[in-house]
Structure 1
Amino acid sequence: MTPAPTLDFYTDPAEFLAAADGYLGAHPVLMSVVASVTGRAAEHGPLKTPYAWWVVARAEGEIVGVAMRTAPFEPYPLYVSPLPEAAAVELARALYERGEHPGGVNGSLPAARLVAEESARLWGGTVETAMATRLWELGDLVVPAAVPGKARLATYADVAICRAWFRDFGRAAREQSGNADSAHGEEHHDEADMRERIDEGRILLWEDAGEVVHLTAFSAPAFGVARIGPVYTPKARWGRGYASAAVAEVARRLLEAGVRVCLFTDQDNPVSNHVYAKLGFRPVVDMANHTLVR
């Protein structure tokens, strides 16, 4: 009989990184979200959330997956990596024993769905898929044909528009996920956060005829992988190729720095999926955001 998986909970991100470093480094694209969020928490201190923990799942002493609950917005969903079925079920049961209801479960399929379904069975209620997402990694970059305008890095003079467009992007994502009323995400991108991203050169703006028309940002590289996002063009500017050009420029700069590039898309958005496929991105794994409804 195969031994039951074990789960080790950590509240200190540095301790989690020390425990999971080898696993995260061996799967840098799949672990991009976990690695970047945890690295930022370890560097900058407590997260603005009522929940802050990480989990390492082991089977026969070997790490088989990780999970975390660090989201700064309601319903404070879990984020899970690929997990064996037994480990996914065990995670749901461990949270039930802790008296901690998971408001949602995001991450790789089928693990995220298994955690959500077992949680609904234990707590009562149903599972709704708020958004189906897909993780992509860039292969060979295909630069699009000439697009009007040019790219430049954001400066402190752009803080206001960067904050506004981060909020607009987040608001649109929450509306798509059925969580439009949550304001918790607004606090996460305050002026200090924008200035830090600008200092690190992680926000690129596209200008056309002297006007800023698009924003593409990216995460700080973790284990040699950077994740592009958010990618935002105001609706009045759609259809002019700004997003393709800006994402390609960000990707080019990252590749030249020796960094692998990944991003997420909404599976139900055929436009963005087509655009990124044309740029050379290839699917890695399907994911989903689940909400538990009681």
Structure 2
Amino acid sequence: MRVEMTSDPVEFQRRVAGFIGRDPLRHTVMSTVLANEIAGLTIAREPSCFASVHTDDVVGVAMRSAGRGVWLGQLPTDAVPLLVTRFAELVPQIDDVHGTEPVAAPFAAAWSALRGRAYHADHGARLYRLGPLRPPLAPPGKARPATAADIDVSGRWLAEMARELGDKHLAMNDKGIRARIEAGRWWLWEDDGKPVSLTAHQVPVNGWVRIGPVFTPRAARGHGYASALVAEVSRRLRETGADVCLYADIDNPTSNKIYRAIGFEAVIDEAHYTFE
């Protein structure tokens, strides 16, 4: 077994396309990161680091996307020590690791032992896929595509979301927001002429589109804006022929409840370990 590393998203996509294409939903995060980097939508001060695990063929994938932690895709558990060693050679400082429990937990333990950094379990994420869509009773207002005039409020809301969830990576600068607005991937629910909720979606890859982020500021919660907006964006995406998925914080009962109510079905849970 060997691990091959690269910072070139085009080369990595060529190398692993067949592997991730066999389970595109499981690898939606990796697929959209690759698509965004290849399209020039990723703005970061350092390159990403992509890893493929090989025997005779590719048997596993992982990545450390620009400025973020390590994300572990499907891979054999005995590949984890090799991945820890190779990531440590190229990226000596990482803040966290995401993946299913059987691979994320041993990665966190091995990284902690190697780098001398304690770790703890943080908020995990649940991946959902959309089944039959059940739109909720619509609250006042309507969904609309975001425009350049919405960049400021979107940036403030993302910063607020990052503070609430303790995840600095959720914040986005104006250039990143503008690029996604211009690509038609940024939506708002507007009530009485004012934006009250935000939903975005990623680029379609391998037949799947992932919704996120989803955010409603505290003062506007409890009215069903997010449910209605996610349902409307999901409906529009499905009309293009795409399958729809999203992630929810496992420990957030509200978001899990509203996604299930409009037709999302749980697929897999992922653990999140943060290094202190």
Q: TM-score range by the shorter chain?
A: over 0.9
Corresponding position: 1:64 with 2:56: no
Instruction: State whether residues 42 and 176 of structure 2, in contact with CA within 8 Å, keep that contact through their aligned partners in structure 1.
Output: no
Give the Cα separation in 1 of the matches to 2:119 and 2:228. Answer: 38
Corresponding position: 1:34 with 2:30: yes
Question: Normalising to structure 2: TM-score of the pair?
Answer: 0.93
Give the Cα separation in 2 of the matches to 1:152 and 1:45. Answer: 22
Corresponding position: 1:291 with 2:274: yes
Give the Cα separation in 1 of the matches to 2:159 and 2:108. Answer: 28
Give the Cα separation in 1 of the matches to 2:153 and 2:88. Answer: 42
Instruction: State whether residues 105 and 112 of structure 1, in contact with CA within 8 Å, keep that contact through their aligned partners in structure 2.
Output: yes
Against the structure 1 CA distance between its residues 148 and 107, is the aligned structure 2 distance closer, same or farther, given a 3 Å change threshold? same
Q: Provide the residue aligned with 2:191 in structure 1.
A: 208
Q: Provide the residue aligned with 2:216 in structure 1.
A: 233
Question: Aligned partner of 2:190: which letter?
Answer: E
- 3-state SS in 2 of match to 1:226: strand
Against the structure 1 CA distance between its residues 39 and 208, is the aligned structure 2 distance closer, same or farther, given a 3 Å change threshold? same
Per-residue CA deviation, residues 212-268 of structure 1 (Å, 9 max, x unaligned), is: 111111111111211111111110111110010000001000100011111111111
Instruction: State whether residues 69 and 95 of structure 2, in contact with CA within 8 Å, keep that contact through their aligned partners in structure 1.
Output: yes
Per-residue CA deviation, residues 35-72 of structure 1 (Å, 9 max, x unaligned), is: 111121122187514452100112x3122221111142
Give the Cα separation in 2 of the matches to 1:231 and 1:268. Answer: 16
Instruction: State whether residues 185 and 200 of structure 2, in contact with CA within 8 Å, keep that contact through their aligned partners in structure 1.
Output: yes
Following superposition, the deviation at residue 185 of structure 1 comes to 5.7
Give the Cα separation in 2 of the matches to 1:273 and 1:185. Answer: 19
Residue number among 82, 107, 119 corresponding to 1:115 in the alignment: 107
Residue number among 72, 75, 80 corresponding to 2:72 in the alignment: 80
- 3-state SS in 1 of match to 2:206: coil
Superposed counterparts of 1:1-294, under 5 Å: 5-44=1-40, 48-58=44-54, 60-72=55-67, 76-96=68-88, 100-173=92-165, 175=166, 186=171, 189-293=172-276
Per-residue CA deviation, residues 177-225 of structure 1 (Å, 9 max, x unaligned), is: 5xxxx5x764xx2222222211221111111122211111111111121
Question: Aligned partner of 1:20: which letter?
Answer: V
Give the Cα separation in 2 of the matches to 1:267 and 1:14. Answer: 33
Instruction: State whether residues 82 and 110 of structure 1, in contact with CA within 8 Å, keep that contact through their aligned partners in structure 2.
Output: no
Against the structure 1 CA distance between its residues 230 and 138, is the aligned structure 2 distance closer, same or farther, given a 3 Å change threshold? same
Q: For structure 2, which runs of at least 5 residues remain unmatched after alignment?
A: none
Question: Aligned partner of 1:93: which letter?
Answer: T
Give the Cα separation in 1 of the matches to 2:62 and 2:41. Answer: 19
Range moving further from structure 2, 102-111 or 142-151:
102-111
Q: CA RMSD in A?
A: 1.9
Q: For structure 1, which runs of at least 5 residues remain unmatched after alignment?
A: none
Against the structure 1 CA distance between its residues 122 and 192, is the aligned structure 2 distance closer, same or farther, given a 3 Å change threshold? closer
Question: Normalising to structure 1: TM-score of the pair?
Answer: 0.87
> Across the two proteins, how many residue pairs are aligned to each other?
276
Give the Cα separation in 2 of the matches to 1:40 and 1:228. Answer: 14
Following superposition, the deviation at residue 129 of structure 1 comes to 1.1
- 3-state SS in 2 of match to 1:56: strand
